[in-house]
Amino acid sequence: MASKNHTVNENSIYNLLTRYSTMDICPLHMPGHKRNSQLLADNLPYNIDITEISGFDNLHDPRGIIKETSKIADALYGSNKTFLLVNGSSCGILAGIRAAVKHGDKIIMARNCHQSVYHAAELNALQTVYLLPKIDQQTGIGGSISPLQVKAALDNNPDAKLLVITSPTYEGVVNDIEKITAAAHKRGIAVLVDAAHGAHLGFSDYFPDNSIKSGADLVVHSLHKTLPALTQCALAHINSNLINHQKMAAELAIFETSSPSYILLASIDNCLRLLLKDKDQLFKTYENNIKCFDYAIKDLKNLHIVCHGSNYLNNHQCLFDFDPGKIVISTRETNLTGTILANILREQYRIEPEMAGSDYVIAITSICDSKDNFKRLADALIAIDQAVIPNKSIKTMANVLPRQLMRISEALDLNGTLIAFADATGMVSLEYVWAYPPGIPLLVPGEIIDKNIVKQIHSFVSAGINLKSSFGEMPRQIKATSV
């Protein structure tokens, strides 16, 4: 008979987490609280895990304490109305797009949007027009979407009903949201900004403004990514009458749980109240920590840290602005790949980065990172920089969109078959292919599998990047059909 005492299992999730929490590992990744027990509580609070009982309000009809917390968010971010989210930013994006458009409408969206935007297009049978960011040649990361790109797309698609932009991106790239929204508003089109990675922006002049102050109509923030909140804690802000807040509330009732965790709601509330009380001092300390890091790494010769150390914003012509809280370490001028560098940081220096690309590594910092965390990363990068072999032969990279043959929803209605990816050139993809993290599709259902996308996917595989696909068979097989 199996034992009923599950808690003694050494491989239980709780026990594995508990053991990991005692290890000397520097967490330069999400969530933004960084397990900082000096600033935050560190227990698992079963005693406050309740449901929507009397006196504790209702997430989908807030009139009491939850409404009060929303008002704090309004004041902090300058929004007209804020919804608390306990299913992460994804539910806010799904609900926001559905609140802004009708079934079958056309939207203009940045190609580097999160997969939740694509899922919204799929569920609502939307026609998608993509804005493709240029590639920063020094680092290989995607640049900003320019206002000129947006204006051209709006001119060419006067029937578009919504514009969706990611800012900041996973790599910390910021767009000129003020000019982008001005262009859209001239045509009466709402702008939704996926600012999941930008919940900390706007609280210090050292950082770029948040998208709400820049005029976006609906902004979604993941508190847990860069601020001290538990995973899944997020906010959705409505900032104009181009998005109906009652429609937004109705859609959130569809895409968000009807049994919200009060532990997560309490975490949102604690995070917002901490900012309300101490944001000036917290962000001043954070700024000083980043500046000390920049000074320490200013003499790096081979590794380039985007907009840090002696690498400045004007070195990157396709970047409008950059979030200094992101540390993007480019290996393009070395003999290392991003995955090799991430392994070195992990195995030799006990530093766990957020993600590794083919030729860069991302570390996420926050107000909860100690000065020691920054020094530990700086010391590691200095040592690695001295040991790597320079490789100045940088190949030029292009960002090319696959040809879109049909809407996502139309492609997903087709049967198709799983075939060898090596034989798929010229066929229509019937599934998503993406690198995770960050969850941005390389290939979307309804697009032609051309030589460029085959080459790109092969380069990811060669660099050790973990590829995902809807049916889980990439890079060996892909579901596709003949044109």
**70-125 pLDDT per residue, tens:** 999 999 999 999 999 999 999 999 999 999 999 999 999 999 999 999 999 999 99
3-state helix, strand, coil in the chain (%, to 5): 35, 20, 45
Question: What is the arithmetic mean of pLDDT over 427-432?
Answer: 97
Of the listed ranges 53-57, 252-256, 447-451, the one predicted with least confidence? 53-57
Cα 482 to chain centroid, rounded: 34
CATH number of this structure's domain 408-481, picked from the four choices 3.40.640.10, 3.90.105.10, 3.20.20.100, 3.40.50.720 = 3.90.105.10
For residue 227, give the nearest of 40, 375, 355, 90 by alpha carbon.
40
For residue 157, give the nearest of 223, 101, 109, 225 by alpha carbon.
109
Domain spans in the chain, listed from the N-terminal domain onward: 46-271, 279-387, 408-481
**143-182 pLDDT per residue, tens:** 999 999 999 999 999 999 999 999 999 999 999 999 999 9
- pLDDT averaged over every residue in the chain: 92
For residue 216, give the nearest of 249, 266, 182 by alpha carbon.
182
pLDDT at 458: 87
User: How far is the C-alpha of 219 from the C-alpha of 234, rounded, in Å?
Assistant: 11
Q: Please state the pTM of the whole predicted model.
A: 0.92
Query: DSSP string of 234-296?
Result: EEEEE-STTS-HHHHHHHHHHHS-SS--HHHHHHHHHHHHHHHHHHHHHHHHHHHHHHHHHHH
State the pLDDT confidence band at 14, using cuts at 50, 70 and 90: low
Question: What is the arithmetic mean of pLDDT over 351-375?
Answer: 95
pLDDT at 1: 39
Which numeric CATH code is attached to 46-271?
A: 3.40.640.10
- Write the single-letter amino acid at 223: L
User: CATH top-level class for 279-387?
Assistant: alpha beta
- Vertex 250: Cα angle to 246 and 251 (nearest 5): 120
Residue 373's SS3 state is helix
pLDDT at 40: 62
